[in-house]
Structure 1
Amino acid sequence: MTPLASLLAHEMPVIAPLVLGPMSAQLAQRAGFRALYLGGGSVGYDKAVTEANLNATEMAQLALDIRAACDLPLILDAAGGWGDAMHVRRTVRLAEAAGFAAIELEDQHVPKRAHHHIGIDYPVPVEVMVEKIREAVAARRSPDFLIIGRTNLARENLDEAVTRAHAYKAAGADILFVLTFDAAQLRVIGRSLPAPLMFMTATTGLAQLPMPPAELAEYGVRLIVDPVTPMLAIHRALRDCYTAMADLRPAPLHGASSERELEALKVTIDLEALLAIERRTTERPR
Protein backbone atom coordinates (compact mmCIF):
# COMPACT_ATOMS: atom_id res chain seq x y z
CA MET A 1 0.00 0.00 0.00
CA THR A 2 1.27 3.47 -0.90
CA PRO A 3 1.24 5.65 2.25
CA LEU A 4 -1.35 8.39 2.12
CA ALA A 5 1.36 11.00 2.75
CA SER A 6 3.14 9.91 -0.43
CA LEU A 7 -0.06 10.27 -2.45
CA LEU A 8 -0.65 13.75 -1.05
CA ALA A 9 2.86 14.82 -2.03
CA HIS A 10 1.79 14.97 -5.68
CA GLU A 11 0.56 18.21 -7.20
CA MET A 12 -2.97 17.09 -8.06
CA PRO A 13 -5.43 16.27 -5.26
CA VAL A 14 -6.20 12.70 -4.26
CA ILE A 15 -9.93 11.96 -4.41
CA ALA A 16 -11.28 9.68 -1.67
CA PRO A 17 -14.91 8.55 -2.07
CA LEU A 18 -17.12 7.27 0.72
CA VAL A 19 -17.15 3.53 1.28
CA LEU A 20 -19.39 1.65 3.69
CA GLY A 21 -17.89 -1.83 3.69
CA PRO A 22 -15.69 -4.31 1.85
CA MET A 23 -17.78 -4.56 -1.32
CA SER A 24 -18.01 -0.81 -1.85
CA ALA A 25 -14.28 -0.52 -1.15
CA GLN A 26 -13.49 -3.09 -3.83
CA LEU A 27 -15.77 -1.37 -6.32
CA ALA A 28 -14.10 1.99 -5.61
CA GLN A 29 -10.68 0.43 -6.09
CA ARG A 30 -11.75 -1.12 -9.40
CA ALA A 31 -13.00 2.29 -10.53
CA GLY A 32 -9.49 3.66 -10.08
CA PHE A 33 -9.59 5.55 -6.77
CA ARG A 34 -6.37 5.59 -4.74
CA ALA A 35 -7.78 6.34 -1.28
CA LEU A 36 -11.08 5.79 0.55
CA TYR A 37 -13.15 7.60 3.17
CA LEU A 38 -15.20 6.05 5.97
CA GLY A 39 -17.59 8.91 6.71
CA GLY A 40 -19.43 9.07 10.00
CA GLY A 41 -22.46 10.79 8.52
CA SER A 42 -23.16 8.09 5.97
CA VAL A 43 -22.23 5.21 8.29
CA GLY A 44 -24.74 6.66 10.72
CA TYR A 45 -27.37 6.84 7.99
CA ASP A 46 -26.61 3.23 7.07
CA LYS A 47 -27.41 2.26 10.66
CA ALA A 48 -30.63 4.34 10.51
CA VAL A 49 -29.27 6.84 13.05
CA THR A 50 -26.68 9.64 12.77
CA GLU A 51 -22.93 9.86 13.30
CA ALA A 52 -23.74 11.20 16.78
CA ASN A 53 -24.82 7.65 17.68
CA LEU A 54 -21.64 5.92 16.51
CA ASN A 55 -18.63 4.86 18.58
CA ALA A 56 -14.96 4.21 17.94
CA THR A 57 -15.10 0.43 18.19
CA GLU A 58 -17.78 -0.04 15.53
CA MET A 59 -15.83 2.19 13.12
CA ALA A 60 -12.70 0.16 13.86
CA GLN A 61 -14.60 -3.06 13.15
CA LEU A 62 -15.74 -1.67 9.81
CA ALA A 63 -12.14 -0.79 9.02
CA LEU A 64 -11.01 -4.35 9.76
CA ASP A 65 -13.59 -5.70 7.31
CA ILE A 66 -12.66 -3.14 4.65
CA ARG A 67 -8.90 -3.53 5.05
CA ALA A 68 -9.22 -7.31 4.85
CA ALA A 69 -10.69 -6.87 1.37
CA CYS A 70 -8.91 -3.76 0.07
CA ASP A 71 -5.47 -2.29 0.74
CA LEU A 72 -6.12 1.31 -0.31
CA PRO A 73 -5.46 3.99 2.35
CA LEU A 74 -8.61 4.45 4.42
CA ILE A 75 -9.46 7.73 6.15
CA LEU A 76 -11.54 7.74 9.33
CA ASP A 77 -14.07 10.46 10.06
CA ALA A 78 -13.81 10.38 13.86
CA ALA A 79 -16.03 13.43 14.54
CA GLY A 80 -14.87 14.86 17.89
CA GLY A 81 -12.70 11.85 18.66
CA TRP A 82 -15.37 10.38 20.98
CA GLY A 83 -14.22 12.36 23.98
CA ASP A 84 -11.65 14.73 25.36
CA ALA A 85 -7.87 14.46 24.97
CA MET A 86 -7.69 11.42 27.24
CA HIS A 87 -10.30 9.59 25.14
CA VAL A 88 -8.63 10.68 21.89
CA ARG A 89 -5.55 8.69 22.90
CA ARG A 90 -7.50 5.42 22.68
CA THR A 91 -9.38 6.55 19.58
CA VAL A 92 -6.09 7.12 17.73
CA ARG A 93 -4.53 3.87 18.97
CA LEU A 94 -7.65 1.94 17.96
CA ALA A 95 -7.84 3.61 14.54
CA GLU A 96 -4.19 3.00 13.78
CA ALA A 97 -4.38 -0.63 14.92
CA ALA A 98 -7.47 -1.15 12.74
CA GLY A 99 -5.51 -0.09 9.67
CA PHE A 100 -6.70 3.45 9.02
CA ALA A 101 -4.22 5.70 7.23
CA ALA A 102 -5.56 8.95 8.71
CA ILE A 103 -8.01 10.26 11.27
CA GLU A 104 -10.16 13.37 10.88
CA LEU A 105 -10.85 15.20 14.16
CA GLU A 106 -13.23 18.15 14.26
CA ASP A 107 -13.67 20.81 16.91
CA GLN A 108 -17.24 19.90 17.84
CA HIS A 109 -18.91 19.25 21.18
CA VAL A 110 -18.81 15.64 22.37
CA PRO A 111 -21.14 13.81 22.41
CA LYS A 112 -21.88 15.13 18.95
CA ARG A 113 -25.44 16.22 18.29
CA ALA A 114 -27.83 15.25 15.51
CA HIS A 115 -28.36 18.97 14.81
CA HIS A 116 -25.05 18.87 12.91
CA HIS A 117 -27.06 17.30 10.07
CA ILE A 118 -29.19 20.41 9.71
CA GLY A 119 -26.28 22.84 9.85
CA ILE A 120 -26.21 23.62 13.59
CA ASP A 121 -22.79 23.01 15.13
CA TYR A 122 -21.44 23.38 18.66
CA PRO A 123 -17.73 24.20 18.48
CA VAL A 124 -15.51 23.62 21.48
CA PRO A 125 -12.98 26.25 22.62
CA VAL A 126 -9.87 26.25 20.47
CA GLU A 127 -7.73 25.28 23.48
CA VAL A 128 -9.73 22.07 23.92
CA MET A 129 -9.20 21.08 20.29
CA VAL A 130 -5.50 21.93 20.44
CA GLU A 131 -5.07 19.50 23.34
CA LYS A 132 -6.90 16.80 21.39
CA ILE A 133 -4.60 17.20 18.40
CA ARG A 134 -1.50 17.22 20.57
CA GLU A 135 -2.62 13.99 22.19
CA ALA A 136 -3.47 12.47 18.82
CA VAL A 137 0.05 13.21 17.59
CA ALA A 138 1.58 11.81 20.77
CA ALA A 139 -0.57 8.67 20.66
CA ARG A 140 0.17 7.56 17.10
CA ARG A 141 2.86 4.95 16.66
CA SER A 142 3.80 5.74 13.06
CA PRO A 143 4.33 9.13 11.40
CA ASP A 144 2.59 7.64 8.34
CA PHE A 145 -0.68 7.80 10.30
CA LEU A 146 -1.93 11.29 9.52
CA ILE A 147 -3.90 13.68 11.73
CA ILE A 148 -6.50 15.89 10.03
CA GLY A 149 -7.59 18.96 12.00
CA ARG A 150 -11.07 20.18 11.04
CA THR A 151 -13.15 23.25 11.81
CA ASN A 152 -16.58 24.15 10.41
CA LEU A 153 -16.55 27.81 11.36
CA ALA A 154 -16.10 29.15 7.83
CA ARG A 155 -19.88 29.21 7.60
CA GLU A 156 -20.02 32.10 10.09
CA ASN A 157 -16.57 33.55 10.59
CA LEU A 158 -13.79 32.81 8.14
CA ASP A 159 -11.16 34.74 10.09
CA GLU A 160 -11.82 32.69 13.22
CA ALA A 161 -11.74 29.47 11.21
CA VAL A 162 -8.32 30.35 9.76
CA THR A 163 -7.04 31.27 13.23
CA ARG A 164 -8.25 27.94 14.58
CA ALA A 165 -6.65 26.06 11.70
CA HIS A 166 -3.29 27.76 12.35
CA ALA A 167 -3.53 26.64 15.98
CA TYR A 168 -4.27 23.07 14.92
CA LYS A 169 -1.27 23.09 12.59
CA ALA A 170 0.96 24.35 15.41
CA ALA A 171 -0.38 21.52 17.60
CA GLY A 172 0.83 18.99 15.02
CA ALA A 173 -2.01 18.38 12.55
CA ASP A 174 -0.66 17.03 9.25
CA ILE A 175 -3.66 18.16 7.15
CA LEU A 176 -5.99 21.09 7.72
CA PHE A 177 -9.67 21.10 6.80
CA VAL A 178 -11.84 24.22 6.97
CA LEU A 179 -15.35 23.27 5.89
CA THR A 180 -16.72 25.54 3.19
CA PHE A 181 -18.20 25.04 -0.26
CA ASP A 182 -17.69 28.65 -1.35
CA ALA A 183 -15.00 29.29 -3.97
CA ALA A 184 -14.12 32.75 -2.66
CA GLN A 185 -13.65 31.40 0.87
CA LEU A 186 -11.58 28.51 -0.46
CA ARG A 187 -9.21 30.97 -2.11
CA VAL A 188 -8.80 32.88 1.16
CA ILE A 189 -8.19 29.64 3.03
CA GLY A 190 -5.65 28.50 0.45
CA ARG A 191 -3.73 31.77 0.65
CA SER A 192 -3.83 31.77 4.45
CA LEU A 193 -3.00 28.18 5.40
CA PRO A 194 -0.17 25.79 4.51
CA ALA A 195 -0.75 22.75 2.32
CA PRO A 196 -1.85 20.02 2.42
CA LEU A 197 -5.49 21.04 2.79
CA MET A 198 -8.60 18.88 2.59
CA PHE A 199 -11.82 19.75 0.79
CA MET A 200 -15.17 17.98 1.21
CA THR A 201 -17.81 18.02 -1.52
CA ALA A 202 -21.37 19.17 -0.96
CA THR A 203 -24.33 16.87 -1.66
CA THR A 204 -23.89 17.65 -5.36
CA GLY A 205 -20.70 15.58 -5.24
CA LEU A 206 -17.63 15.58 -7.45
CA ALA A 207 -19.60 16.58 -10.54
CA GLN A 208 -20.13 20.12 -9.21
CA LEU A 209 -16.94 21.23 -7.47
CA PRO A 210 -16.65 24.97 -6.75
CA MET A 211 -13.56 25.03 -8.98
CA PRO A 212 -11.66 22.44 -11.03
CA PRO A 213 -9.29 20.09 -9.15
CA ALA A 214 -6.27 21.78 -10.76
CA GLU A 215 -7.37 25.14 -9.33
CA LEU A 216 -8.07 23.59 -5.93
CA ALA A 217 -4.51 22.29 -6.05
CA GLU A 218 -3.23 25.84 -6.61
CA TYR A 219 -4.80 26.75 -3.28
CA GLY A 220 -3.17 23.91 -1.40
CA VAL A 221 -5.90 21.26 -1.61
CA ARG A 222 -4.33 17.82 -1.80
CA LEU A 223 -7.26 15.70 -0.59
CA ILE A 224 -10.85 15.82 -1.88
CA VAL A 225 -13.42 13.72 -0.04
CA ASP A 226 -16.94 12.88 -1.24
CA PRO A 227 -18.74 11.75 1.93
CA VAL A 228 -22.26 11.08 0.71
CA THR A 229 -22.79 10.40 -3.03
CA PRO A 230 -22.51 6.58 -2.76
CA MET A 231 -24.90 6.60 0.21
CA LEU A 232 -27.48 8.60 -1.77
CA ALA A 233 -27.08 6.22 -4.72
CA ILE A 234 -27.48 3.18 -2.48
CA HIS A 235 -30.56 4.64 -0.79
CA ARG A 236 -32.20 5.44 -4.10
CA ALA A 237 -31.39 2.03 -5.58
CA LEU A 238 -32.71 0.14 -2.55
CA ARG A 239 -35.83 2.31 -2.33
CA ASP A 240 -36.62 1.65 -5.99
CA CYS A 241 -35.79 -2.03 -5.63
CA TYR A 242 -38.04 -2.67 -2.65
CA THR A 243 -40.88 -0.67 -4.22
CA ALA A 244 -40.64 -2.81 -7.35
CA MET A 245 -40.48 -6.04 -5.34
CA ALA A 246 -43.55 -5.09 -3.33
CA ASP A 247 -45.43 -4.58 -6.61
CA LEU A 248 -44.08 -7.91 -7.94
CA ARG A 249 -42.20 -6.03 -10.64
CA PRO A 250 -38.61 -6.78 -11.78
CA ALA A 251 -35.94 -5.00 -9.77
CA PRO A 252 -34.52 -1.95 -11.58
CA LEU A 253 -31.06 -3.04 -12.74
CA HIS A 254 -30.49 -0.33 -15.38
CA GLY A 255 -30.72 -2.69 -18.30
CA ALA A 256 -28.69 -5.54 -16.84
CA SER A 257 -30.25 -8.93 -16.27
CA SER A 258 -30.29 -10.42 -12.78
CA GLU A 259 -27.98 -13.18 -13.96
CA ARG A 260 -25.45 -10.76 -15.44
CA GLU A 261 -25.45 -8.59 -12.29
CA LEU A 262 -24.97 -11.65 -10.10
CA GLU A 263 -21.95 -12.65 -12.19
CA ALA A 264 -20.56 -9.12 -11.86
CA LEU A 265 -21.04 -9.34 -8.09
CA LYS A 266 -19.07 -12.58 -7.99
CA VAL A 267 -16.24 -10.88 -9.85
CA THR A 268 -16.25 -7.98 -7.38
CA ILE A 269 -15.81 -10.28 -4.38
CA ASP A 270 -13.30 -12.43 -6.32
CA LEU A 271 -15.27 -15.62 -5.84
CA GLU A 272 -12.93 -17.45 -8.21
CA ALA A 273 -10.03 -17.02 -5.77
CA LEU A 274 -12.06 -18.72 -3.03
CA LEU A 275 -13.14 -21.51 -5.37
CA ALA A 276 -9.51 -22.08 -6.36
CA ILE A 277 -8.54 -22.58 -2.71
CA GLU A 278 -11.31 -25.11 -2.23
CA ARG A 279 -10.32 -26.98 -5.39
CA ARG A 280 -6.79 -27.23 -4.05
CA THR A 281 -7.64 -28.17 -0.46
CA THR A 282 -11.13 -29.53 0.18
CA GLU A 283 -12.80 -30.36 -3.14
CA ARG A 284 -11.91 -33.65 -4.76
CA PRO A 285 -12.41 -34.60 -8.42
CA ARG A 286 -15.75 -36.29 -8.82
Structure 2
Amino acid sequence: MDWTDRRKRFRAVLAGARCVHPGSVFDPLSARIAEDLGFEVGMFAGSVASLAVLGAPDLIVLTLSEFADQAYRINRAGKLPLLVDADHGYGNALNVKRTVEELETAGVAALTIEDTVLPRPYGEDKPALVPIDEGIGKMKAALAGRQDPHLVVVGRTSALAVTSVEDTIARARAYEAAGVDAMFLVGARTRAQVEAISGAIRIPLILGGVGPELTDLDWLAAHDVRISLQGHQPIMAAVQAVHDTLKALRAGTPPAKLANIASSDLMKRVTRDADYARWTKEFLGVG
Protein backbone atom coordinates (compact mmCIF):
# COMPACT_ATOMS: atom_id res chain seq x y z
CA MET A 1 0.00 0.00 0.00
CA ASP A 2 1.04 3.61 -0.55
CA TRP A 3 1.36 5.28 2.83
CA THR A 4 2.81 8.58 1.62
CA ASP A 5 -0.46 10.46 1.15
CA ARG A 6 -1.49 10.06 4.78
CA ARG A 7 1.99 11.12 5.91
CA LYS A 8 1.68 14.25 3.80
CA ARG A 9 -1.69 14.97 5.41
CA PHE A 10 -0.17 14.55 8.87
CA ARG A 11 2.61 16.96 7.95
CA ALA A 12 -0.04 19.42 6.74
CA VAL A 13 -1.57 19.36 10.24
CA LEU A 14 1.82 20.14 11.76
CA ALA A 15 2.42 22.91 9.23
CA GLY A 16 -1.05 24.41 9.65
CA ALA A 17 -2.38 27.07 11.99
CA ARG A 18 -4.88 24.93 13.97
CA CYS A 19 -4.65 22.62 16.95
CA VAL A 20 -6.66 19.39 16.62
CA HIS A 21 -7.65 16.54 18.90
CA PRO A 22 -6.71 13.10 17.54
CA GLY A 23 -9.10 10.19 17.61
CA SER A 24 -7.80 7.53 20.01
CA VAL A 25 -8.07 4.21 18.16
CA PHE A 26 -7.16 0.63 18.95
CA ASP A 27 -8.29 -1.61 16.06
CA PRO A 28 -9.53 -1.45 12.45
CA LEU A 29 -13.16 -0.69 13.34
CA SER A 30 -12.31 2.11 15.77
CA ALA A 31 -9.98 3.66 13.18
CA ARG A 32 -12.70 3.55 10.52
CA ILE A 33 -15.16 5.18 12.90
CA ALA A 34 -12.68 7.98 13.67
CA GLU A 35 -12.04 8.48 9.95
CA ASP A 36 -15.76 8.50 9.12
CA LEU A 37 -16.39 11.07 11.86
CA GLY A 38 -13.83 13.44 10.37
CA PHE A 39 -10.85 13.21 12.71
CA GLU A 40 -7.80 14.63 10.98
CA VAL A 41 -5.44 12.14 12.65
CA GLY A 42 -5.64 9.01 14.76
CA MET A 43 -3.61 8.15 17.85
CA PHE A 44 -2.51 4.62 18.79
CA ALA A 45 -0.92 4.72 22.22
CA GLY A 46 1.36 2.16 23.80
CA SER A 47 -0.97 1.83 26.78
CA VAL A 48 -3.92 1.22 24.45
CA ALA A 49 -1.94 -1.34 22.46
CA SER A 50 -1.09 -3.21 25.64
CA LEU A 51 -4.80 -3.35 26.49
CA ALA A 52 -5.96 -4.31 23.00
CA VAL A 53 -3.30 -6.92 22.25
CA LEU A 54 -2.46 -8.38 25.65
CA GLY A 55 -5.19 -7.25 28.02
CA ALA A 56 -2.34 -5.94 30.18
CA PRO A 57 -1.54 -2.63 31.89
CA ASP A 58 1.03 -0.23 30.43
CA LEU A 59 4.19 -1.83 31.83
CA ILE A 60 6.21 -2.22 28.60
CA VAL A 61 5.52 -5.94 28.27
CA LEU A 62 4.25 -5.58 24.70
CA THR A 63 6.82 -6.39 22.00
CA LEU A 64 7.67 -4.34 18.93
CA SER A 65 6.34 -7.06 16.62
CA GLU A 66 2.99 -7.14 18.45
CA PHE A 67 2.72 -3.36 18.35
CA ALA A 68 3.69 -3.10 14.68
CA ASP A 69 1.25 -5.85 13.71
CA GLN A 70 -1.66 -4.06 15.37
CA ALA A 71 -0.62 -0.74 13.83
CA TYR A 72 -0.63 -2.40 10.40
CA ARG A 73 -4.12 -3.80 10.98
CA ILE A 74 -5.32 -0.32 11.87
CA ASN A 75 -3.61 1.32 8.91
CA ARG A 76 -4.79 -1.13 6.24
CA ALA A 77 -8.42 -0.61 7.33
CA GLY A 78 -8.62 2.93 5.99
CA LYS A 79 -6.72 6.11 5.22
CA LEU A 80 -6.56 7.81 8.62
CA PRO A 81 -3.10 9.31 9.28
CA LEU A 82 -1.92 7.47 12.38
CA LEU A 83 0.36 8.81 15.12
CA VAL A 84 1.77 6.01 17.28
CA ASP A 85 3.52 5.96 20.62
CA ALA A 86 6.66 3.91 20.07
CA ASP A 87 7.66 4.28 23.72
CA HIS A 88 11.46 4.20 24.17
CA GLY A 89 11.97 2.43 20.85
CA TYR A 90 12.02 -0.97 22.56
CA GLY A 91 15.61 -0.67 23.72
CA ASN A 92 18.71 1.37 22.96
CA ALA A 93 19.41 3.52 19.91
CA LEU A 94 19.96 0.51 17.66
CA ASN A 95 16.57 -0.85 18.72
CA VAL A 96 15.07 2.57 17.98
CA LYS A 97 16.34 2.39 14.40
CA ARG A 98 14.75 -1.06 13.99
CA THR A 99 11.52 0.23 15.56
CA VAL A 100 11.24 3.03 13.02
CA GLU A 101 11.88 0.63 10.15
CA GLU A 102 9.14 -1.72 11.35
CA LEU A 103 6.57 0.98 12.05
CA GLU A 104 7.24 2.73 8.75
CA THR A 105 6.60 -0.59 7.00
CA ALA A 106 3.38 -0.91 9.04
CA GLY A 107 2.14 2.34 7.51
CA VAL A 108 2.21 4.81 10.38
CA ALA A 109 2.21 8.50 9.50
CA ALA A 110 4.10 9.60 12.61
CA LEU A 111 5.76 8.07 15.64
CA THR A 112 7.12 9.30 18.95
CA ILE A 113 10.35 8.20 20.61
CA GLU A 114 10.65 9.11 24.28
CA ASP A 115 13.56 9.61 26.64
CA THR A 116 12.09 7.79 29.64
CA VAL A 117 14.04 4.94 31.23
CA LEU A 118 11.90 1.94 30.22
CA PRO A 119 11.09 -0.65 31.35
CA ARG A 120 11.34 0.53 34.94
CA PRO A 121 14.58 -0.76 36.53
CA TYR A 122 14.65 -2.92 39.64
CA GLY A 123 14.07 -0.92 42.79
CA GLU A 124 13.11 2.29 40.94
CA ASP A 125 9.79 3.62 42.21
CA LYS A 126 9.68 6.85 40.21
CA PRO A 127 9.95 7.57 36.47
CA ALA A 128 13.42 8.57 35.32
CA LEU A 129 14.87 10.03 32.11
CA VAL A 130 17.90 8.91 30.14
CA PRO A 131 20.75 11.43 29.87
CA ILE A 132 20.27 14.02 27.14
CA ASP A 133 23.16 12.61 25.11
CA GLU A 134 21.51 9.19 25.08
CA GLY A 135 18.24 10.82 24.07
CA ILE A 136 20.00 12.59 21.20
CA GLY A 137 21.44 9.27 20.06
CA LYS A 138 17.97 7.76 20.02
CA MET A 139 16.57 10.63 17.94
CA LYS A 140 19.43 10.38 15.45
CA ALA A 141 18.91 6.62 15.19
CA ALA A 142 15.18 7.13 14.59
CA LEU A 143 15.91 9.54 11.76
CA ALA A 144 18.48 7.16 10.30
CA GLY A 145 15.87 4.40 10.28
CA ARG A 146 13.41 6.48 8.27
CA GLN A 147 13.25 5.58 4.58
CA ASP A 148 10.23 7.64 3.50
CA PRO A 149 11.15 11.29 4.11
CA HIS A 150 7.46 12.06 4.66
CA LEU A 151 7.31 9.90 7.80
CA VAL A 152 7.13 12.18 10.84
CA VAL A 153 9.57 11.48 13.67
CA VAL A 154 8.58 13.13 16.95
CA GLY A 155 10.80 13.54 19.99
CA ARG A 156 8.95 12.92 23.23
CA THR A 157 9.83 13.82 26.81
CA SER A 158 8.17 13.62 30.21
CA ALA A 159 10.67 16.07 31.68
CA LEU A 160 7.91 18.51 32.67
CA ALA A 161 6.53 15.86 35.03
CA VAL A 162 9.89 14.44 36.12
CA THR A 163 12.46 17.25 36.28
CA SER A 164 11.82 20.88 35.30
CA VAL A 165 10.88 23.35 32.60
CA GLU A 166 14.56 24.15 32.13
CA ASP A 167 15.43 20.50 31.52
CA THR A 168 12.48 20.18 29.16
CA ILE A 169 13.73 23.12 27.12
CA ALA A 170 17.26 21.70 27.03
CA ARG A 171 15.96 18.37 25.79
CA ALA A 172 13.60 19.93 23.26
CA ARG A 173 16.39 22.08 21.83
CA ALA A 174 18.75 19.11 21.65
CA TYR A 175 16.21 16.89 19.90
CA GLU A 176 15.28 19.71 17.53
CA ALA A 177 18.96 20.09 16.66
CA ALA A 178 19.13 16.34 16.03
CA GLY A 179 16.43 16.79 13.39
CA VAL A 180 13.08 15.65 14.80
CA ASP A 181 9.96 17.08 13.16
CA ALA A 182 8.02 17.95 16.33
CA MET A 183 8.16 17.68 20.13
CA PHE A 184 5.64 15.71 22.19
CA LEU A 185 5.36 17.02 25.76
CA VAL A 186 3.83 14.83 28.45
CA GLY A 187 2.49 16.41 31.61
CA ALA A 188 2.17 20.08 30.68
CA ARG A 189 -0.07 21.67 33.32
CA THR A 190 0.10 25.41 32.76
CA ARG A 191 0.10 27.93 29.95
CA ALA A 192 3.37 29.34 31.29
CA GLN A 193 5.08 26.00 30.70
CA VAL A 194 3.85 25.77 27.12
CA GLU A 195 4.76 29.40 26.42
CA ALA A 196 8.30 28.86 27.69
CA ILE A 197 8.91 25.76 25.59
CA SER A 198 7.20 26.94 22.41
CA GLY A 199 9.24 30.13 22.61
CA ALA A 200 12.48 28.18 22.89
CA ILE A 201 12.14 25.97 19.81
CA ARG A 202 10.90 26.36 16.23
CA ILE A 203 9.29 22.99 15.64
CA PRO A 204 5.59 22.37 16.47
CA LEU A 205 4.35 20.83 19.71
CA ILE A 206 2.13 17.86 20.51
CA LEU A 207 0.67 17.63 24.02
CA GLY A 208 -0.46 14.68 26.11
CA GLY A 209 -1.74 14.53 29.68
CA VAL A 210 -2.49 18.25 29.90
CA GLY A 211 -3.89 20.26 32.79
CA PRO A 212 -7.20 22.17 32.79
CA GLU A 213 -5.49 25.40 31.68
CA LEU A 214 -4.66 23.82 28.35
CA THR A 215 -8.03 23.03 26.80
CA ASP A 216 -8.52 26.10 24.59
CA LEU A 217 -7.62 24.97 21.08
CA ASP A 218 -7.27 28.53 19.79
CA TRP A 219 -4.79 29.41 22.54
CA LEU A 220 -2.85 26.22 21.95
CA ALA A 221 -2.75 26.86 18.21
CA ALA A 222 -1.37 30.35 18.81
CA HIS A 223 1.50 28.78 20.78
CA ASP A 224 2.51 26.26 18.11
CA VAL A 225 0.62 23.29 19.54
CA ARG A 226 -0.79 21.36 16.59
CA ILE A 227 -2.13 18.21 18.28
CA SER A 228 -3.45 17.85 21.83
CA LEU A 229 -4.50 14.47 23.16
CA GLN A 230 -7.70 14.13 25.17
CA GLY A 231 -6.99 10.68 26.59
CA HIS A 232 -8.00 7.21 25.50
CA GLN A 233 -11.67 6.98 26.44
CA PRO A 234 -12.82 4.97 23.37
CA ILE A 235 -11.18 1.72 24.45
CA MET A 236 -12.43 2.21 28.01
CA ALA A 237 -15.93 2.80 26.67
CA ALA A 238 -15.63 -0.37 24.60
CA VAL A 239 -14.57 -2.36 27.68
CA GLN A 240 -17.55 -1.02 29.62
CA ALA A 241 -19.94 -1.82 26.78
CA VAL A 242 -18.69 -5.40 26.44
CA HIS A 243 -18.82 -5.86 30.21
CA ASP A 244 -22.38 -4.56 30.47
CA THR A 245 -23.61 -6.56 27.50
CA LEU A 246 -22.14 -9.84 28.72
CA LYS A 247 -23.37 -9.16 32.25
CA ALA A 248 -26.90 -8.56 30.95
CA LEU A 249 -26.82 -11.73 28.85
CA ARG A 250 -25.48 -13.73 31.78
CA ALA A 251 -28.31 -12.37 33.92
CA GLY A 252 -30.89 -13.56 31.41
CA THR A 253 -31.66 -10.44 29.37
CA PRO A 254 -32.95 -11.53 25.94
CA PRO A 255 -30.66 -10.36 23.11
CA ALA A 256 -33.53 -8.34 21.62
CA LYS A 257 -33.77 -6.35 24.88
CA LEU A 258 -30.11 -5.35 25.11
CA ALA A 259 -29.32 -1.62 25.17
CA ASN A 260 -26.72 0.30 23.14
CA ILE A 261 -26.21 -2.28 20.41
CA ALA A 262 -24.84 -1.02 17.10
CA SER A 263 -27.48 -0.85 14.42
CA SER A 264 -27.32 -2.94 11.28
CA ASP A 265 -26.67 0.23 9.27
CA LEU A 266 -23.75 1.22 11.47
CA MET A 267 -22.23 -2.26 11.30
CA LYS A 268 -22.54 -2.23 7.52
CA ARG A 269 -20.78 1.15 7.35
CA VAL A 270 -17.86 0.25 9.59
CA THR A 271 -17.32 -3.13 7.92
CA ARG A 272 -17.53 -1.54 4.45
CA ASP A 273 -20.31 -3.98 3.58
CA ALA A 274 -21.20 -2.18 0.33
CA ASP A 275 -17.65 -2.61 -0.97
CA TYR A 276 -17.66 -6.31 -0.23
CA ALA A 277 -21.09 -6.70 -1.85
CA ARG A 278 -19.77 -4.99 -5.01
CA TRP A 279 -16.63 -7.14 -5.06
CA THR A 280 -18.69 -10.30 -4.53
CA LYS A 281 -20.81 -9.45 -7.53
CA GLU A 282 -17.85 -8.43 -9.69
CA PHE A 283 -15.48 -11.25 -8.81
CA LEU A 284 -17.79 -14.12 -7.88
CA GLY A 285 -20.71 -13.33 -10.17
CA VAL A 286 -23.29 -13.48 -7.40
CA GLY A 287 -25.34 -11.00 -5.43
Query: Where do residues 149-168 of structure 1 align in structure 2 (5 Å cutoff)?
Result: 149-155=155-161, 156-168=163-175
1:242 aligned residue: 246
Letter aligned with residue 216 of structure 1 = L
Letter aligned with residue 237 of structure 1 = A
1:14 aligned residue: 20
Q: Confirm whether residue 173 of structure 1 aligns to residue 183 of structure 2.
A: no
Q: Confirm whether residue 43 of structure 1 aligns to residue 42 of structure 2.
A: no
1:273 aligned residue: 275
Deviation at 1:210, TM superposition (A): 2.1
Letter aligned with residue 243 of structure 1 = K
1:24 aligned residue: 30
1:217 aligned residue: 221
| 1:65-107 Cα distance to aligned partner (Å, 9 max, x none) | 1121111211110000001111111111111111111110110
Deviation at 1:43, TM superposition (A): 1.5
| 1:88-140 Cα distance to aligned partner (Å, 9 max, x none) | 11111111111111110110123357999xx9412111111110101111121
> Is the contact between residue 107 and residue 129 of structure 1 (CA under 8 Å) also seen in structure 2?
yes
> Is the contact between residue 201 and residue 209 of structure 1 (CA under 8 Å) also seen in structure 2?
no
Give the alignment partner of residue 73 of structure 1, picking from 78, 81, 87.
81
CA distance in 2, matches of 1:12, 1:67: 24
CA distance in 1, matches of 2:65, 2:129: 24
> Is the contact between residue 19 and residue 228 of structure 2 (CA under 8 Å) also seen in structure 1?
yes
Give the alignment partner of residue 229 of structure 1, picking from 212, 233, 239.
233
Q: TM-score, normalised by structure 1?
A: 0.88
Deviation at 1:165, TM superposition (A): 1.2
Deviation at 1:157, TM superposition (A): 1.4
CA distance in 2, matches of 1:174, 1:261: 42
CA distance in 1, matches of 2:268, 2:137: 47
2:154 aligned residue: 148
1:91 aligned residue: 99
Query: Which segments of 5 or more consecutive residues in structure 2 lack a partner in the other structure?
Result: none
1:182 aligned residue: 189
Count of aligned pairs: 274
> Is the contact between residue 154 and residue 178 of structure 1 (CA under 8 Å) also seen in structure 2?
yes
CA 1:139–1:24 in structure 2 vs 1: closer, same or farther (change >3 Å)?
Answer: same
Deviation at 1:280, TM superposition (A): 2.2
Give the alignment partner of residue 113 of structure 2, picking from 105, 113, 118.
105
Query: Which segments of 5 or more consecutive residues in structure 1 lack a partner in the other structure?
Result: none
1:129 aligned residue: 135
> Is the contact between residue 13 and residue 217 of structure 1 (CA under 8 Å) also seen in structure 2?
yes
- Cα RMSD, aligned residues only: 2.3
> Is the contact between residue 244 and residue 252 of structure 1 (CA under 8 Å) also seen in structure 2?
no
| 1:8-56 Cα distance to aligned partner (Å, 9 max, x none) | 2110023322111110000001111011111101121232213411111
Identity %: 26
> Is the contact between residue 115 and residue 121 of structure 1 (CA under 8 Å) also seen in structure 2?
no
> Is the contact between residue 23 and residue 34 of structure 2 (CA under 8 Å) also seen in structure 1?
yes
2:206 aligned residue: 198
Deviation at 1:283, TM superposition (A): 4.2
Deviating more after overlay: 218-227 vs 23-32: 218-227
> Is the contact between residue 189 and residue 213 of structure 2 (CA under 8 Å) also seen in structure 1?
no
Q: TM-score, normalised by structure 2?
A: 0.87
